[in-house]
Structure 1
């Protein structure tokens, strides 16, 4: 594409073609849009050359780079576009890409979509006068939020509550501050334990400070059940899904109380003071406990008896859920960066198969996934922030020659 000599009057048409090309890559072009793109291609031979360039691997990204000075002039319009279409604040993150420039590619497409949206109604009024077509609902990324179930069964949706005390439970005041739930002793201790449960639906994650000062981060589609005050000789909590813990030391009568996590009734993790991550999603083929600091003992109950392994920092206990080795734990090196990518706002798809990628997308974007012709045998390479709409992420994934179609909130993986 000879962008240096591009006539100014061609720019709106080219930007519109770029937007349509992006939708074409996602198999989302309407019949009217297909006709519009075909009409543009037939206007000039050069349009076909530009289209071929846009369809190339990095054509959209290069167009965005070449026209950075032009798009800078459209910043007020772009800001207004994002206020209307991206109501949630999006933190700015820089993520190292290994062998795929995913973020740059996705960002280029969305910038081009925004610029085309801004300029086309003024440049082509006839198109603007056409009846509006149904628009595919944009699927935004997950955000902070959770549901708290109190001891009496009542619930509080933490997505919508403001900062301050939201409830009182036996022995604790419950307060929310900047998207974080904290339990603080109020001096009204009781010998009887009462329990609360914090649950993150799909598309949500949340942080909680437990009554002993320990911190827990819940990934999407996860839960933690815990007492409102720790009065027994061991601190026991139960989880499902994926939770990262930073456990605080707590003593009683001069003795440090152990902290014990029951993971979906499949195994237990016992610690004295440490940082670790448990992935116990029921739909994963392997459940993992990864230790970052300290020391933990992981115990699983098997038909032939209990199996206990002790982890050192950097090690991972992996328990298979299927096959002849189901229920057996093995110890292997862990990858803290990959394990904690979700907590740090990143998808780490390096050497990850498509089924694992789709399981992560299902939880974070709250979608269903179907395979049109079986599961493709392909592994992805690279990292990407979790704060972009699903459509942008799919454009990046399509660079691995996997194609998708969105139907409502169902993502169909095409052959």
Structure 2
């Protein structure tokens, strides 16, 4: 036994004789990053030797586990994917170990009636690094599986792929004619690029950026769709401008900021992390953002200021996390659909529900839906679709 004490505590939990001090001790062990994998393995090992009737009551186990994980281990420890205004809460200790308890919970689920064959065999992996680069001549390069090296040369510039990031290296004199490239991430992909001026850009799934291979002239102008995070190289004599559709632009000199402009969103959000930016709507509205502020461009062209956005939530996608705060179920499903490249279908009678919490983005879709089911969402996978049905799971 790799950790006798951990096993003893889990066995006591299963037997219903865990004391309050032992609950705190078990919770602290679950938060220990070095013991995270051991925690999962011990749960699975314990389940193997337990009689079936001992784990038949899933509700009781969920209550016990939630009780342990709700223990005040560290101040401000997040409790992911809890259902707002619901008596049933399914708590995880922290984002880094957000699925620790699902090892045991999966085992519990497997003791129930077997799921349909299609559901059991549907494995949908999380999104990964990948993009399509469209060169100035219109040719396309799939970046998903290319090796490091020069992948194109155009207008005096080499296009180089290095360790999963695209970069531009000036190799000669430009012809003087502006050449544009477009990098697009399909659903289920994300990628980063270093622009010719050294600016770093990360694209979320279902996003794109169009930019010149050389920044000449008065401004450095790019166009984006979807969601992108920028770390702009400072150049006071050549402002950096991000055009967002035909509705607004963001003007900076050197700064870090995030733009979320997905088509299915009614609001375009520009969030500043460092430096300063001017957000200019085509209607004439204008905002100067300070760090940790967010501009919201509404469909009527009005710009509003959010002085205290949740920066962790804004940057969650770049940090490999789904992060929801009182989010409606459709909003959660939209993010899952983009990342896992699936469709979402709702059956009649699905009620409005709100959730808060975190999940890793590197888990399989079945694991993400398991977390939602434990939070009360009745959902399943059919082929490459998520089916949401009315009623609690």
TM range (shorter): 0.7 to 0.9
Residue 331 of structure 1: aligned partner? 305
Q: Quick check: 2:123–2:364 contact (8 Å CA) kept in 1?
A: yes
Asked if residue 368 in structure 1 is aligned to residue 343 in structure 2, the reply is: yes
TM-score if structure 2 supplies the norm length? 0.75
Distance in 1 between residues matched to 2:230 and 2:46, nearest whole Å: 52
Distance in 2 between residues matched to 1:115 and 1:167, nearest whole Å: 52
Distance in 2 between residues matched to 1:140 and 1:55, nearest whole Å: 31
SS in 2 for 1:327: coil
CA offsets 1:12-63 (integer angstroms, 9 cap, x no match): 99659x9xxxxxxxxxxxxxxxxxxxxxxxxxxx74453114774257899x
How many residues are paired up?
A: 327
Q: Quick check: 1:149–1:156 contact (8 Å CA) kept in 2?
A: yes
Unaligned runs of 5+ in 2: 1-10, 17-43, 68-75, 81-90, 112-116
SS in 1 for 2:282: strand
Residue 220 of structure 2: aligned partner? 235
Q: How well do the aligned residues superpose, as a CA RMSD in angstroms?
A: 3.2
Residue 277 of structure 2: aligned partner? 296
Asked if residue 313 in structure 1 is aligned to residue 291 in structure 2, the reply is: yes
Displacement, 1:194?
A: 0.5
SS in 1 for 2:216: coil
Q: Higher Cα Rg: structure 1 or 2?
A: 1
1:338–1:115 Cα change, 3 Å:
closer
Equivalent of 2:361 in 386, 389, 393? 386
CA offsets 1:232-288 (integer angstroms, 9 cap, x no match): 2111100000000000023xxxx6101111112221111111111000001012110
SS in 1 for 2:56: helix
Q: Quick check: 1:200–1:220 contact (8 Å CA) kept in 2?
A: yes
TM-score if structure 1 supplies the norm length? 0.71
Q: Map 1:237-256 to 2 at 5 A.
A: 237-250=222-235, 256=237
CA offsets 1:384-409 (integer angstroms, 9 cap, x no match): 21111111111112232111021111
Unaligned runs of 5+ in 1: 6-10, 19-45, 63-94, 121-132
Displacement, 1:114?
A: 9.0
CA offsets 1:350-405 (integer angstroms, 9 cap, x no match): 32221211111111111111111355322212212111111111111223211102
Asked if residue 57 in structure 1 is aligned to residue 62 in structure 2, the reply is: yes
Q: Map 1:14-413 to 2 at 5 A.
A: 15=48, 47-48=52-53, 50-53=55-58, 56-57=61-62, 97-98=78-79, 100-101=91-92, 106-110=99-103, 135-250=120-235, 256-302=237-283, 306-321=284-299, 326-333=300-307, 334-413=309-388
1:207–1:413 Cα change, 3 Å:
same
Distance in 2 between residues matched to 1:286 and 1:328, nearest whole Å: 10
